[in-house]
Structure formats: C-alpha cells, structure tokens
C-alpha cells in the first residue's frame, strides 16, 4: 500500500475529465464475447476507454493480464483498472444458491464458501464481487429472493458478515482475496407486489429494525463497497437519496468505502421521474454519494458542465475519486496491477477436488426435509429406485448467478451421483421429462413411460421444480405453484401407491400443498450447484442426514405473499387453525404458512423440555451490561439415529412504544445427539437481544415483559416470561 500522500499527489495531477472516467465503470465485453471498454469499441470514446476506472464482468487470467497491461500503457496516469464481477455463490465451483446457503443456518459454511469463491475469482483477475446481497426478503413472488439468505434480520446479518469475511479475509491486498460489495441498499426486497425494479415504502421503524441490520453487519465486517438498489424508497430512488447514502450510510453506519451504482441506475433516474435529463441524474447521484457509475456514462458526459454551473462541487468529485484510488491502493494494485491473476493458478484452483468437496458438503447442508412419512427416507440398500422427472438427470443445477462464470457441464447430475452410491446403483433408472422450459400438461406417453418404470421399482424419487430462469433478477412470478404438468405427473405416480420422495428444485418458497399431499417425503433442493447431484444423493441415501432449515416461510397459497414469521401482531389475531370471520387471515384457508421459518426435519426426532429462566426479573439501564439472564431447555433425541438439531431462540417484547413483532430470532445453536441422549442448551440473554430502534430516539430497551421461546422453528409454543425494569 502506498498511502494517502501518494493518492493525494495522483489526484492533484488528474484533469476533471480523467476523474470523470475514473468514476465510470464500463462493460468488459459484449454478450457475444467480443471485447469492449479498454480493448475498444464500446463508447466509441478513446479517452474514456483508456481512462475508465473499472470494468464490469470481465474476467479470466489471460484476458485480464492483457487488458491491464494495455491499460497501464494507455491510461494517462497509469492507474490500474479494477475488475469487478458478480461472484455470488461461487466462481467456477458453484455452491448452492444463496437462499440454499441461508438454509444451512451455518455462517462458517458461508464464510468458507466465499473464501473459496474469492480464491477462484482472484486468480482469474477479479478484484471485486457484487456480493453479499443483504436484502431482507418477505415476498416469494420476487425472483431475487434466491439471492438473499431469507426473511430474518438476525440470520441475514450473520450471513452477510460471513460472506464479507470470506471474500476479504484478513485484507483485500492479501493473495486470493477480493473486495466485497454489499447490495442493494435498501428496501429492494420490499418492492411492491414482488415486481422487480418496483418501488418500496418502508417507514423508519421497519427500515432500521428489519432492513438495515444485515447491511450494518457487512459494513462492520469491513465491507469495502456498497451498491444502492434500483428501487425508489419512499418516493426517492436509492441512487439519488442523500438521506440513505449520506445520513444513514455514512453518518449513522460510518461506512467509508466506495459507493457504486447498480447497472445503468444513474440514467434510470430519468424514467424514475425525478430528473429531466442525464446531466441532472449525474448531479443528483454524485450529490447523494455515488462514487462510481456502472455502465452508463452520464458522469463522464456531463461532469465538466456540472462543475462549471456549481451543480456538483469539486470536493464531491475529489472525495469520490480518492475513495476509488484508495480501494485500488488497499488491494496493492499500484504496486502490482495484476494481483493474483494467473492462468497457471486457474488450472490449480478452479473446480479442484477440495473446492468440489466443500460444494458437495454445502449442497447437502442446504437441503431441507419437509416431510418424511413412514420413513420413506433414507433410501435403503436393497430398494429399487425409479428416478423420475425433469431434474433426474439434469445439469440445470445452477441459477442464473451461478452461470455468470460457472458451467452446467461441470455439474454432477442426481442420476450420475446415484450411480456412485452402491445403495442405489442397482434399481436406479432415469426417466426424463422433455422440455423443462415448457409449462404444459404432461403428455400421456411420458406419463405412461414413468408409470412403467415406477411399476418395476420399490420407491420413486421424483425430481421436479422451477426452471432456473424462473427466479433471480427479472424472475418475478404471480404464481408460486409448480407447473401443472409436473403436478399431473406426481398424481399419476401417486396412483401406483409406491412411496414417492419428491425433490423440489426451486429459487423461492413454493406452494407445496399438493406436493405434500401426494408425496411420502418432500425435500427442498434449491439450485444446489456444481456438486448438487452428489449432495442430494448423500442425503437421500443417508450418507448424511438432512440438517437444513427454512430461511423463508413457505405459504399455503400464492395469495398469502408476503408471508413471514416476524410480522407485527394484529388487533384481531387468529389463534385457531381455520379461517375465522373478523380475525386476521383469508377466507377458506388455514392461517399461517404451510411450513414455517426455521422448519426442517432430519432422520431422527427431538423433544424439548419446558423453557427455564435463571431469573424472572432483571434491571437493565445501560447497553453495556452483557448478560441479564440465562434461558435454557433440555433437548432429547427420541429417535433411533444420531442427529443434529438447530435449537432456536426467539424473543417477543410483549408491549412497546411501537407494536413489536410476534417473535424474533435472536440466537441458535446446533447440537448433535445420539439416540436417547439429552443435553441442556442454554442461551445468555443480553440487552442487545431486547433492544430496538425507536424513530427520533435511537436504540432503546423498554421496560416491560419479554417472552422467550426455545424450539425447533418459528411456531414452537414453549415459552417463559420475564420482566425488565429500568430500560434506556
């Protein structure tokens, strides 16, 4: 690192036009692979191409080495380029989709996977990844729920910090680490109706308590960059919101890194309806605190004029450029512009055995077992298995973010993985539903073929689900059901009376009411990544037991969306299991989700004793007091196999100045117990777990009654109460 003086000196030599170029990120290449930006042909502007600060989506060691060499020769001050791309859940070795990683409830797994992703990306010349996505998501219609770790601020915070630590390690200048960009600040997950790019309305109470914590956690973990969301929040596009990017991000959260717009989001301020033209869009976003404009060129095109008219100050421009150059310096790029880029290391690291092994473990850990009637799972050694369905032998195991740099041909299918398991090698047959893309009723011939195969088998493994294109960016849906032809297939197979294990591939919570009715066992596989087939086979055959837990509630009907466990109580709660007139809910369906947040079965069962508290009343007047009391329960493995349980702690603040959520996850512990074994699981209750943000006042802990729930998911019923006196 060369330091502050070096950067100031460099800055003092740059012209305004060069500064504007430094604040611009160009596409690295056309979709057809032809090169742009530094290697010419994009803006048709030699000066911008030669002096741009960064490239988007341009990677591969050989190409980066060449592009950086050219850039160092041609740019006015020999300032190295930053290469940024979307490394979302793996670079070449692809881990399960982020929602699946969230389902593992294991921040250390996320950290490890992010560190592998960073290593693979860095040797391909990548310096920055646009991850983690810290958006809180509650509406399964929104396609981008797949990129989030779910509906809970606490779990999301642990995960976003873990991603950041994994990418950045103990320093972004160190070998095999890259810088992390947390996104999309803020409220993108709350877009109306789950429609992508739509607007969000969130009051400060929910903004600070629910949406902000995962961003704060990433910032506190040292995240170097942040991206504002495409959406408007309370009428102002995030890209142009000084309140968000200055008052909340810098003043409140103390973020000091680089703010980069989302792709063309600066230009989009015009269609958003807050600017007349791109010059105004540039002025507004720079004024709000955006340092880098991604892909569009309004900064570059208009900055000189904006400085002349005083719409943008030189101090704002210098601040932005200084932050960008400081990031480059922290990465050591002024000393070595190529950092880790190395074709030889790509050979060594990409998809190496160790990385594949971790991806396999992550795929297994991300699976959530929702139903297991008559112990349909694990599959037994002597069983003949009919493996049927569109995902039975499919390599479509990557979501669209996995496909940025990962390849389907590197994926191991479920069929191939079954073949490697002695347990299944015998009876396993494949039947593939043609044309996953088409949502049309199954044709009778295909069903007949499936039935024929099912007839010769003892059990059916049915691999069905959404197509990967049906989620992620621009993947919003009005319908959370599976395609009708898949349901028809399931029903036809059900008529054989053979046990059916349904494995559901999905990028979001789906309505599984019919799937559950016609299946013996139901497993959620998300999009499981390169080693997905093996990870799933490991769980189905009992090589590993399922341990995943839902990071989002699964609804009973699409019309329930958004549905989430930590909602506010209503004046008319429905505490029964059916529709009640004049109580909260919908006509004709049971209240609540089909499967709650935190839910997931394994191959054994656990019982919980009553919750016990070390005291019933505490006095707390300052946030510094570390432990107020202990809450515990005794968990017993009542089944016949060793198993892992995720013991979850939820707290409810019974009455506050603001209506408080019905419960909030505040901790969890994973324990492994042998058959018949019991263990006391204790949680220390700290003031931080009880406090919340009160608008106009700040972080507070209010006197009154609190309820502590300890159980296996967000609808567990065991609780005890205690009183807090004092408060702050």
The SS3 call for residue 186 is coil
Closer residue to ligand NOJ, CB minimum distance, 224 or 538: 224
* Distance (Å, whole) CA 133 – CA 182: 6
User: Which of positions 400-429 make contact with ligand NOJ (CB under 6 A)?
Assistant: none
Sign of the Cα torsion 370, 373, 374, 376 reads negative
Residue closest to ligand NOJ, measured at CB: 130
**Residue 121 or residue 433: which is nearer to ligand NOJ going by CB?**
121
Q: Do residues 716 and 645 lie in contact, with contact meaning Cβ atoms separated by under 8 Å?
A: no
Find out whether 377 and 521 touch, Cβ atoms under 8 Å.
yes
Q: What is the nearest approach in angstroms of ligand NOJ to the Cβ of residue 104?
A: 22
Q: What are phi and psi of 129, to 5 degrees?
A: -115, 145
Q: Which is nearer to ligand NOJ, 128 or 618 (CB)?
A: 128
DSSP letter at 188 equals G
> What's the min distance (Å) between Cβ of 131 and ligand NOJ?
8
**Footprint of ligand NOJ on 168-187 (CB under 6 A):** 183
Q: How far is the CB of 473 from ligand NOJ (least distance, A)?
A: 6
Could you tell me the smallest distance in angstroms from the CB atom of residue 198 to ligand NOJ?
Answer: 13
Q: Is the N-terminal amide bond of 562 cis, ω within 30° of 0?
A: yes
Cα distance between residue 563 and residue 145, in whole Å: 13
User: 3-class SS at 343?
Assistant: helix
- In eight-state DSSP terms, residue 143 is G
Q: Which of 29, 86, 653, 691 binds ligand NOJ (CB under 6 A)?
A: 86
**β-bridge mates for residue 387, sequence order:** 430, 461
Length of the chain: 728
Q: What separation in angstroms does the CA of 35 have from each of 30, 85, 666? A: 6, 15, 48
Q: Where are the alpha helices (DSSP H) in 393-443?
A: 414-420, 422-425
Quote the least distance from Cβ 403 to ligand NOJ, whole Å.
Answer: 12
Q: Give the nearest distance from C-beta 565 to ligand NOJ in angstroms.
A: 26
* 644 scored as a contact of ligand NOJ (CB under 6 A): no
130 binds ligand NOJ (CB under 6 A): yes
Site string for ligand NOJ, 132-171 (x = CB under 6 A): ----------------------------------------
Among 409, 411, 428, which residue's Cα sits nearest to residue 420?
428
Closer residue to ligand NOJ in complex, CB, 126/539: 126
Which tokens go with 653? 């603040």
Token pair recorded at residue 691:
């406090």
b (16+ CB within 10 A) / e for 44-76: ebebbbbbbbbbbbbbbbebbbbbbebbeeebe
**What Cα–Cα distance (Å) separates residue 270 from each residue in 43, 267, 281, 545, 546?**
20, 6, 7, 52, 49
How far apart (Å, rounded) are the C-alpha atoms in residues 301 and 306? 10
Which two three-digit tokens encode residue 223? 């995240």
Kindly report the backbone phi and psi dihedral angles of residue 632, in degrees, each rounded to the nearest multiple of 5, phi listed first: -145, 170
Q: How far apart are CA 350 and CA 345, in angstroms?
A: 8
Q: Which is nearer to ligand NOJ, 231 or 602 (CB)?
A: 231
Nearer Cβ to ligand NOJ (264/580): 264
DSSP sequence for 230-290: SSEETTEEGGG-HIIIIIIIIIIT---SEEB--TTTTGGGTTTTS-SSHHHHHHHHHHHT-
Candidate residues 106, 262, 346, 538; the one interacting with ligand NOJ per rule CB under 6 A: 262
Nearer to ligand NOJ, 101 or 424 (CB): 101
Least separation in angstroms between CB 295 and ligand NOJ: 8
* Residues contacting ligand NOJ: total by CB under 6 A: 6
Instruction: Name the residue among 588, 594, 590, 586 with its Cα closest to residue 565.
Output: 594
Q: Are the C-beta atoms of 567 and 206 separated by less than 8 Å? A: no
Taking the least distance from each CB to ligand NOJ, the nearer of 223 and 689 is 223
- Report if residue 291 touches ligand NOJ, rule: CB under 6 A: no
Q: Output the smallest distance, CB 263 to ligand NOJ, in A.
A: 4
Rounded to 5 degrees, φ, ψ at 699 are: -70, 125
- Check if the beta carbon of residue 202 is closer than 8 Å to that of residue 233: yes
Q: Is the torsion defined by CA of 366, 372, 378, 383 positive or negative?
A: negative
**Between 130 and 526, whose beta carbon lies closer to ligand NOJ?**
130
Instruction: Measure the CA–CA gap between 557 and 545, rounded to whole angstroms.
Output: 29
Residue closer to ligand NOJ by CB (options 263, 525) is 263
As measured in angstroms, the least distance from the Cβ of 129 to ligand NOJ is: 9
DSSP state of 207: I
- Taking the least distance from each CB to ligand NOJ, the nearer of 130 and 683 is 130
Residue 564 and residue 597 in contact, taking contact as beta carbons nearer than 8 Å? yes
94 strand-pairing partners:
90
Interface map 601-640 toward ligand NOJ (x if CB under 6 A): ----------------------------------------
Catalytic residue among 135, 139, 262, 399: 262
Q: Kindly write out the interface string for residues 462-491 of this chain, putting x where it contacts ligand NOJ by CB under 6 A and - elsewhere.
A: -----------x------------------
The smaller minimum CB distance to ligand NOJ, of residues 342 and 405, is found at 405
Q: Which of 263, 267, 510, 601 forms a contact with ligand NOJ (CB under 6 A)?
A: 263
Taking the C-alpha atoms of residue 94 and residue 101, their distance in angstroms, rounded to an integer, is 11
479 is catalytic: no
Q: Which residues bind ligand NOJ (CB under 6 A)?
A: 86, 130, 183, 262-263, 473
Catalytic residues: 262
């Amino acid at each position: 690192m060369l330091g502050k003086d070096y950067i100031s000196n460099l800055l003092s030599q740059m012209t305004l036009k060069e500064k504007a170029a430094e604040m611009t990120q160009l596409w690295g290449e056309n979709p057809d692979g032809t090169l742009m930006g530094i290697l010419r042909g994009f803006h048709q502007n030699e000066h911008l191409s030669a002096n741009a600060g960064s490239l988007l989506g341009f990677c591969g060691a050989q190409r980066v080495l060449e592009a950086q060499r050219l850039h160092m020769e041609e740019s006015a001050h020999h300032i190295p380029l930053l290469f940024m791309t979307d490394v979302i859940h793996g670079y070449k070795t692809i881990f399960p989709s982020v929602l699946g990683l969230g389902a593992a409830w294991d921040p250390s797994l996320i950290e490890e996977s992010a560190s592998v992703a960073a290593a693979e990306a860095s040797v391909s010349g990548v310096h920055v990844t646009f991850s983690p996505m810290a958006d809180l998501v509650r509406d399964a219609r929104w396609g981008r729920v797949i990129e989030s770790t779910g509906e809970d601020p606490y779990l999301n915070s642990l995960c976003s910090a873990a991603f950041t630590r994994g990418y950045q390690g103990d320093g972004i200048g160190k070998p095999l680490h890259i810088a992390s960009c947390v996104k999309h600040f803020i409220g993108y997950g709350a877009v109306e109706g789950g429609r992508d790019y739509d607007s969000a309305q969130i009051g400060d109470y929910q903004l600070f308590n629910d949406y902000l914590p995962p961003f704060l956690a990433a910032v506190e973990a040292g995240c170097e960059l942040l991206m504002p969301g495409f959406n408007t929040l309370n009428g102002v596009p995030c890209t142009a919101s000084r309140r968000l990017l200055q008052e909340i991000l810098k003043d409140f959260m103390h973020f000091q890194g680089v703010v980069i717009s989302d792709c063309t989001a600066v230009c989009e301020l015009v269609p958003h309806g807050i600017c007349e033209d791109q010059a105004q869009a540039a002025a507004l976003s720079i004024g709000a605190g955006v340092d880098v404009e991604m892909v569009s060129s309004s900064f570059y095109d208009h900055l000189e004029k904006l400085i002349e008219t005083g719409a943008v100050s030189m101090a704002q421009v210098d601040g932005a450029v200084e932050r960008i150059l400081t990031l480059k310096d922290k990465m050591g790029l002024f000393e070595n512009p190529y950092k880790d880029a190395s074709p030889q290391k790509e050979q060594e690291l990409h998809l190496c055995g160790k990385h594949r092994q971790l991806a396999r473990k992550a795929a297994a850990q991300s699976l959530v077992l929702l139903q297991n009637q008559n112990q349909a799972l694990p599959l037994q050694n002597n069983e003949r298995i009919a493996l049927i369905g569109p995902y039975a032998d499919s390599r479509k195991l990557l979501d669209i973010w996995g496909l940025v740099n990962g390849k389907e041909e590197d994926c191991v299918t479920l069929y191939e993985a079954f073949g490697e398991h002695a347990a299944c090698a015998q009876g396993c047959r494949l039947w593939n539903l043609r044309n996953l893309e088409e949502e049309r009723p199954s044709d009778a011939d295909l069903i007949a073929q499936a039935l024929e195969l099912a007839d010769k088998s003892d059990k059916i493994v049915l691999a069905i689900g959404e197509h990967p294109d049906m989620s992620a960016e621009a993947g919003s849906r009005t319908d959370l059901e599976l395609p009708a032809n898949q349901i028809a297939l399931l029903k036809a197979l059900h008529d054989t009376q053979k046990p059916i294990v349904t494995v559901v591939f999905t990028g979001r919570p789906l309505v599984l009411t019919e799937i559950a009715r016609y299946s013996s066992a139901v497993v959620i596989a998300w999009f499981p990544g390169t080693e997905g087939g093996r990870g799933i086979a490991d769980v189905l055959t009992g090589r590993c037991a399922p341990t995943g837990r839902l990071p989002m509630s699964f609804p009973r009907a699409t019309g329930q969306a958004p549905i989430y466990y930590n909602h506010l109580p209503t004046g008319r709660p429905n505490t029964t299991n059916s529709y009640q007139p004049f109580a909260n809910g919908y006509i004709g369906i049971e209240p609540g989700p089909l499967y709650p947040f935190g839910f997931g079965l394994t191959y054994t069962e656990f019982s919980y004793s009553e919750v016990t508290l070390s005291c019933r009343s505490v006095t707390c007047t300052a946030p510094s007091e570390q432990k107020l009391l202990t809450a515990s329960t005794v968990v017993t493995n009542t089944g016949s196999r060793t198993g892992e349980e995720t013991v979850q702690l939820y707290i409810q603040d019974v009455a506050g100045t603001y209506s408080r959520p019905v419960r909030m996850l505040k901790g969890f512990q994973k324990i492994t117990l042998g058959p018949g074994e019991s263990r006391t699981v204790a949680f220390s209750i700290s003031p931080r777990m009880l406090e919340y943000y009160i608008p106009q006042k700040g972080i507070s802990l209010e006197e009154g009654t609190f309820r502590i729930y300890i159980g296996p998911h967000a609808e567990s019923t065991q609780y005890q109460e205690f009183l807090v006196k004092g408060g702050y």
